[in-house]
Amino acid sequence: MDKEILINRLKAKPDLNLLIVEAIENTTILISFFEIVVTESSSIKYTCSKIIRRVSEQRPELIYPYFEDIVKWTHHNNSFIKWDGILTLSNLAAVDYEDKFRTIYQDYFALIHDPQMITAANVVGNAWKIVLAKPELESDITRRLLEVPNIIYINKGEPSPECNYIVRGKVLECFEHYFDCSGNQAAMIKFAEEQLGCRRKSVAKNAEKFLRNHSGKRI
């Protein structure tokens, strides 16, 4: 499909699910989506990064050849593209046969300390995908997640305890995905116990649920 035709089609706000199917079936369209993310100034670049992210959820092997391009998104000055980059990379971990993730590991997980809560939450909430794909990294990833209560997140220029509580909730959700295969279950249980008094009620309730599910399995 001609790139200009595709751009006009995107501007008409088509069915994204249909475009995702087409991108999976036609690598030429997929390449065009990557080009549009880089070259287009309008909001359709966000549509393209979203489509690429959605393709990575279903067929990560199709996106893996563009690993380095996705890495650049995580440094993008636009938050929406940065977040799509974070999520897409977590999906690519399952097919990272060349162990490319190791070269970006430190920078990727440093984003847990990003002052913008949503950036950190996207890393934290999807870290389980990397743990399951690369179990040798589990202890270090868990250690980093356990640091969240000590991290300051900023909202409207001010430190926000509420933002920190939200990310703590993402830690609990992440732990839920890989608790049974973790070598750090006692630390996870302790973290959950510490959230029982969280001022954000949804986090406290998730901590209760986590402990009901897992406290009897502790090693």
pLDDT, tens digit, for every residue of 46-65?
Answer: 999 999 999 999 999 999 99
User: Which residue, of 46, 66, 98, is where some domain finishes?
Assistant: 98
How many domains does one find in the chain?
2
pLDDT(7) > 90 = no
pLDDT at residue number 100? 97
Please tell me whether residues 201 and 132 are part of one structural domain. yes
Q: How confident is the model at residue 150 (pLDDT cuts 50, 70, 90)?
A: very high
Measured between alpha carbons, how far is 159 from 148 in angstroms, rounded to an integer?
14
Q: Which domain holds residue 50?
A: 1-98
Please tell me whether residues 163 and 191 are part of one structural domain. yes
Please tell me whether residues 218 and 166 are part of one structural domain. yes
CA angle 93, 95, 101 (to 5 degrees): 40
pLDDT at residue number 47? 94
CB 93 within 8 A of CB 101: yes
pLDDT at residue number 13? 83
| 158, β-bridge pairs | 155
User: Which residue, of 53, 69, 98, is where some domain finishes?
Assistant: 98
CB 175 within 8 A of CB 219: no
Please tell me whether residues 147 and 215 are part of one structural domain. yes
